[in-house]
Structure 1
Amino acid sequence: MAGAVCNNPSRGRYEPMDPTVKNWIATSNYDLRTAEAMLKAGRYLYVVFMCHLSVEKMLKGIIAHQQPETIPPKTHQLIFLAQKAQLELPEEFKDFIQHIDNVSVVTRYPDDLRKLAKEFNRAAAQRILSETRALLQWLRQCLKSEE
């Protein structure tokens, strides 16, 4: 979704980036690199898990930047975090966040590992990683003009 622009109420305000916010962003980037490493290693369930974690931490970084007096909520629900960050997500990203929220729960608590491993093959993991990269790029725009 290259043409979509972040519609963030605090965008355009210049404020120095707080070390806490920088840490959320750094750990989000670290988790994305871990997802990439897991793809290379053939650990596809962990690609999904780490992609979810990367998005979660970026959203928490945005919340921490917008609301420095509050601690981001201790939740894994990406839709809730996006709402808390007051982001107007493009429909494509709303759908993806809903999808990765649903599949992440399954990867955290697998009932049947073999069945899950078939569902999350290399192609599925690559698709989720690609969509995660696009979403993170969009989310970074929400902070870019404020750095």
Structure 2
Amino acid sequence: MINTQKQIDYWKNSALSDIDTAEILFKKNKLKECLFFCHLTIEKILKAHFTKIYNQIPPKTHSLNYLIEKIEISIDDDIFNLFGILMNYQIEGRYPDYEPERLSVDETIELLKKTKEVLKWLMQMLLN
């Protein structure tokens, strides 16, 4: 049996660390890397939810859509679209022969902002 709260705290703290890293990377004009860490942020906070609901270690997946489906949280089209974009950058981070669309600084800052908003929302939901 796992220590559920310890696992939840691990995923939450890791997500918070990753969003900080995403911001640092953005400031260094590392846009693809910033988006990779945005993906990690959302993946980890979803895994915190999974752990809370199922009282077990989350599956070894990077699919945001799979995780959101498993934890049965309803998301709107904006969040669904954000997840789709971020999924492209998690693939690129792991498979260098895959080249996602290059986004502008303005597009990247908007995705970073949305990631932070979704993170805040999902963190708040963990308290309920």
1:45 matched residue in structure 2 = 32
1:84 matched residue in structure 2 = 70
RMSD in angstroms over aligned alpha carbons?
1.9
- Give the letter aligned to residue 58 of structure 2: P
2:92 matched residue in structure 1 = 106
Greater radius of gyration (CA): 1
Are 2:102 and 1:119 equivalent residues in the alignment?
Answer: yes
1:34 to 21, 27, 46: 21
The separation in 1 between residues aligned to 2:14 and 2:97, in whole angstroms, is 29
Q: Which runs of 5+ in 1 are unaligned?
A: 1-16
Deviation at 1:139, TM superposition (A): 1.0
1:60 to 37, 43, 47: 47
Higher helix share: 2
Deviation at 1:66, TM superposition (A): 1.1
Q: Give the structure-2-normalised TM-score.
A: 0.87
Provide Cα deviations, 1:44-93, integer angstroms capped at 9, x if missing partner: 1110100000100000001001111x210100000001111111112221
**Percent of residue pairs identical:** 28
Deviation at 1:97, TM superposition (A): 1.0
Structure 1 runs (4+) deviating above 6 angstroms are none
SS at match of 1:94: helix
The separation in 2 between residues aligned to 1:120 and 1:109, in whole angstroms, is 18
Q: Give the structure-1-normalised TM-score.
A: 0.76
Residue pair 2:63, 2:87 contacting (<8 A) in 1 also: yes
The separation in 2 between residues aligned to 1:119 and 1:20, in whole angstroms, is 35
> How many correspondences in the alignment?
125
